[in-house]
Amino acid sequence: SYRKGGYHAVRIGDPFSAGRYIAQRKLGWGQFSTVWLAYDTLSSSYVALKIQKSAQQFAQAALHEIEFLSAASDGDLQNTKCVVRLIDHFKHAGPNGQHLCMVLEFLGDSLLRLIRYNHYKGLKLDKVKEICRCILTGLDYLHHELGMIHSDLKPENILLVSTIDPGKDPVRSGLTPLLEKPEGNANGGGGGSSTMNLIEKRLKRRAKRAVAKISERRVSMVGEEASSKSERSLDGIDMRCKVVDFGNACWADKQFAEEIQTRQYRAPEVILKSGYSFSVDMWSFGCTAFELVTGDMLFAPKEGNGYGEDEDHLALMMELLGKMPRKIAIGGARSKDYFDRHGDLKRIRRLKYWPLDRLLVDKYKLPEGEAKEFAEFLSPVLEFAPEKRPTAQQCLEHPWMNVVSTQKNADSVESQVRNLKIKG
Ligand code: ADP
Ligand code: MG
In which element (H, E) is residue 374 found?
helix 368-381
Nearest residue to 48 (alpha-carbon basis) of 20, 5, 77, 87: 87
Minimum-distance ligand to the CA of 73?
1
- Decide: 68 in ligand 1 pocket, CB within 6 A: no
Query: Which atom number of ligand 1 is nearest to the Cα of residue 32?
Result: 3
ipTM greater than 0.90, yes or no? yes
Quick one: pLDDT at residue 292? Answer: 97
Nearest residue to 72 (alpha-carbon basis) of 241, 243, 285, 239: 243
Quick one: pLDDT at residue 176? Answer: 61
Torsion sign over Cα 10, 13, 14, 17: positive
79: left (phi over 0), alpha (psi -120 to 50) or beta: left
Query: Which atom number of ligand 1 is nearest to the Cα of residue 157?
Result: 7
How many residues appear in the chain?
Answer: 424
- Decide: 48 in ligand 1 pocket, CB within 6 A: yes
Residue 245 CA to ligand 2 center (angstroms) comes to 5
Quick one: pLDDT at residue 31? Answer: 83
Closest residue by Cα to atom 13, ligand 1, is: 28
Quick one: pLDDT at residue 410? Answer: 46
Quick one: pLDDT at residue 387? Answer: 98
Residue 109 CA to ligand 1 center (angstroms) comes to 9
**Three-state DSSP class for residue 183:** coil
Quick one: pLDDT at residue 407? Answer: 52
DSSP code of residue 255: -
- Residues linked to residue 241 through DSSP beta bridges, in sequence order: 160
Residue among 156, 244, 261 to mutate when testing ligand 1 (max atoms within 8 A of CB)? 244
- The span from the first CA to the last CA of the chain, in angstroms, equals 67
The CA distances from residue 167 to 209, 213, 231, 242, 276, in Å, are 16, 11, 22, 22, 45
Nearest residue to 14 (alpha-carbon basis) of 52, 51, 44: 51
DSSP code of residue 24: E
Cβ–Cβ contacts within 10 Å for residue 308, how many? 14
- For residue 50, say whether it is annotated as part of any ligand binding site: yes
Quick one: pLDDT at residue 299? Answer: 98
d(CA 361, CA 420) in angstroms, rounded, equals 19
* Residue 152 annotated in active site: yes
Amino acid, res. 397? E
- Decide: 104 in ligand 1 pocket, CB within 6 A: yes
pLDDT string in tens for the chain (424-residue length): 787 878 888 999 999 999 999 999 999 888 889 999 999 999 999 999 999 999 999 999 999 999 999 999 999 999 999 999 999 999 999 988 899 999 999 999 999 999 998 888 999 999 999 999 999 999 999 999 999 999 999 999 999 997 644 343 333 454 567 776 665 443 333 333 444 455 555 555 554 444 434 333 333 444 444 444 444 466 767 989 999 999 999 999 999 999 999 999 999 999 999 999 999 999 999 999 999 999 999 999 999 999 999 999 999 999 999 999 999 999 999 999 999 999 999 999 999 999 999 999 999 999 999 999 999 999 999 999 999 999 999 999 999 999 886 655 444 444 444 545 554 3
Query: Which atom number of ligand 1 is nearest to the Cα of residue 105?
Result: 23
